[in-house]
Amino acid sequence: MKKVIFLVDMNAFYISCEMTRNKELRGVPAAVAGDPKKRTGIILAANYEARAYGVKTAMVLQDALRLCPNMKLVPPDHNFYEQKSREVMEILSSYTPVLQQNSIDEAWLDMTGCEGLFGKPVEAARSIMNNIRNELGLWCSIGISENKFLAKMASELKKPLGITELWREDIQQKLWPLQIEFMHGIGKQTSKKLRAMGINTIGELARFNQKTLFKVFGKTGIDMYARANRIDDSCVQVRDDNDIKSIGRSVTLPEDVTSIEKAKIVLMKLADEVGMTARRHDKKGRTVQITLKYTDFKTITRQKTVPATYLTKEIYSAGVDLLEKNWNQRKPVRLIGISISGFDEKIEFEQMTIMDLLNMKSSGYISEKTSLNTANNNLDNNTFNEKTGNEFGNEFINDKEITGREDTHLGLSEKEERAKEERLEKVLDELREKHGYSKVTRAIFIKESS
């Protein structure tokens, strides 16, 4: 039986997500950018109206605005995009259990043998596309072929809302004439080397001498040659929580940072996202690592071992310790990242309900100041709170108020206190899932460096 592989690629994903909740962005040039208020940073995603002016992903915002002065800009909301990504993957998994998510906005599907259920490949692809558009308001392109590489290449041939088949009998006509830069897996530096060797198209790569490619590129050269000749034996790999080796977040800053206090604010937001993701997958990590990339593009990573945790404040605390030990104010930072790894095999977790949360409040475990009615709060998500030094929005939830651990131990053992704290974090995560990440936000005080 001939393999049938789909690559579903969401079109202009970040800005498309924003357009589902903001009608003013539809039909006009718009983009998700680093810092629209300061008009600094880079373009993270542009819609097709903006692309018509020459605006591209990773373009410096000021350059993009020179091309398209009236372009509407919105700040990134990665948690919202991740939620939309999960909704997309849920739809895709209803078509086949053999699904491999490749990134936040694309996935491979093994549709082999599904013709009896969903019709011919093009019919199945059209059904997927329509379901995603009707249920989520998002657009996608779908590549169809016999292997992952060709499906990926096919998905790039027609955007947006494109369905493209690329079978082995099509490669000479559809694949080989394409410029070498278009080939999946070949970056700028590799394409420069290939062009210097006289290889300008995928077809020229397919006909080039393998031994020479191996001498210049090693095994990568052989892999490139094989893919150019439509050979890719890799399988669609179904992944589950056991396959997760690390959970991390990083951000390219809208402007270079030399202040460690500003860096801590960024690190807090990233640690919050890492903790929430780790709890979703019930993954407690023993290694916390930070990443700093400087303006000269040099990168350092530093890590430390901690007791197994998925609590936000413990991930953040370890990250801050590493940050303080390795910060150099004479070296401006352009990217900050934090991750956890070294996961425990299994986590015992007792489900906590909203009633448990209210009982904890009535018993004094949660301060009266803590409000859970955050869904109707419409404060600006970029409001800067001078008291906490954190740029968060909406309802501010102080961990010290929630846990009460600073003032009282409530007669609980340390293990029991920790278990309650973990369950409470899970409840807050559920509220965020229901009402939106920006509607329930913690306000952890960033301590000044000693």
State the CATH number of the domain containing residue 207.
1.10.150.20
- In this predicted structure, the answer to whether residue 387 has a pLDDT above a threshold of 60 is no
Which of the four pLDDT bands, split at 50, 70 and 90, describes residue 32?
very high
Q: Which of 342, 313, 333 lies closest to 245 in space, CA to CA?
A: 342
Do residues 253 and 220 both lie within one domain? no
pLDDT at 179 over 80: yes
**pLDDT value of residue 50:** 97
Region 279-295: mean pLDDT is 91
Predicted local distance difference test score (pLDDT) of residue 376: 32
Q: Which domain holds residue 413?
A: 354-442
**Confidence at residue 367, expressed as pLDDT on a 0 to 100 scale:** 37
180, 199 contact by CB (below 8 A): yes
Q: What DSSP line would sit under 381-436, residue for residue?
A: TT--BTTTTB---SEEE-HHHHH-TTT--TT--HHHHHHHHHHHHHHHHHHHHHH-
At residue 324, the pLDDT reads 96
Note the pLDDT tens digit of each residue in 120-152: 999 999 999 999 999 999 999 999 999 999 999
Rounded to whole angstroms, how far apart are CA atoms 402 and 369? Answer: 9
Of 339, 350, 236, the closest CA to residue 286 belongs to 339
| Same domain for 327 and 249 | yes
User: How confident is the model at residue 249, as a pLDDT?
Assistant: 84
Distance separating alpha carbons of residues 447 and 260, to the nearest angstrom? 11
Q: What is the pLDDT of residue 364?
A: 41
Return contacts of 114-123, CB within 8 angstroms, 24+ apart.
114/4, 115/4, 121/4, 121/6, 121/165, 122/163, 122/165
% the chain with pLDDT above 90: 57
The DSSP output letter for 179 is B
Report the mean per-residue pLDDT for the chain: 82
Is 91 part of a structural domain of the chain? no
pLDDT of residue 350: 43
Instruction: State whether 379 and 427 are in the same domain.
Output: yes
327 and 247 co-located in one domain? yes
In the residue annotation, 448 being an active-site residue is answered as: no
- pLDDT (mean) for 40-48: 87
**Are 72 and 24 contacting, i.e. CB atoms less than 8 angstroms apart?**
yes
Report if residue 385 sits inside a domain.
Answer: yes
* Amino acid code (one letter) for 246: S
Token pair 């009460």: residue: 404
Q: Which of 60, 78, 96 is the last residue of a domain?
A: 78
Q: What is residue 396's predicted lDDT score, i.e. its pLDDT?
A: 37
Tell whether omega for the bond before 160 is within 30 degrees of 0, i.e. cis.
yes
Is beta strand 440-442 parallel, antiparallel or unpaired with respect to 395-397?
parallel
pLDDT-derived band at 27 (thresholds 50, 70, 90) equals very high
Higher-scoring residue by pLDDT: 383, 61: 61
Count each helix (H run) and each strand (E run) in the chain, helices first.
Answer: 16, 14
pLDDT of residue 362: 46
Q: Is 62 contained in some domain?
A: yes
> Rounded CA gap, 287 and 341, in Å?
5
Q: Which residue has the higher pLDDT, 213 or 355?
A: 213
CA distance linking residue 347 with residue 286, whole number of Å: 13
pLDDT > 90? residue 305: yes
Q: Which of 18, 49, 106, 422 is catalytic?
A: 106
**Range among 96-105, 120-129, 421-430 with highest mean pLDDT value:** 120-129
Rounded mean pLDDT of 205-233? Answer: 95
Both tokens of residue 386? 């001078």
How many domains would you assign to the chain?
A: 4
The distance in angstroms from the start CA to the end CA of the chain is 67
- Domain-located, residue 193: yes
Spacing of C-alpha 54 from chain mean position:
25
Q: How confident is the model at residue 397 (pLDDT cuts 50, 70, 90)?
A: very low
Question: Residue 153 is encoded by which pair of tokens?
Answer: 């290449």
pLDDT at 217 over 60: yes
Give the rounded distance of the alpha carbon of 382 from its chain centre.
20
pLDDT in the model for residue 39: 57
Q: What is the mean pLDDT of residues 389-395?
A: 35
pLDDT-wise least confident of 122-131, 229-238, 251-260, 374-383? 374-383
Confirm whether 126 is domain-assigned.
no
Domain end, chosen from 31, 51, 78, is at 78
Judge whether residue 58 has pLDDT over 80: yes
Q: How confident is the model at residue 307 (pLDDT cuts 50, 70, 90)?
A: very high
User: In 169-209, which ranges are continuous DSSP H helix?
Assistant: 188-196, 202-206
Higher local confidence (pLDDT), 366 or 236: 236
Say if residue 390's pLDDT is above 60: no
302 shares its domain with 380: no
255 and 327 housed in the same domain: yes
Domain of residue 56, CATH code: 3.40.1170.60
- Domain-ending residue, one of 51, 78, 105: 78
Share of the chain above pLDDT 70, in %: 79
Give the pLDDT confidence score for residue 420 in this predicted structure. 83
| Residues 3 and 110: beta-carbon distance below 8 Å | yes
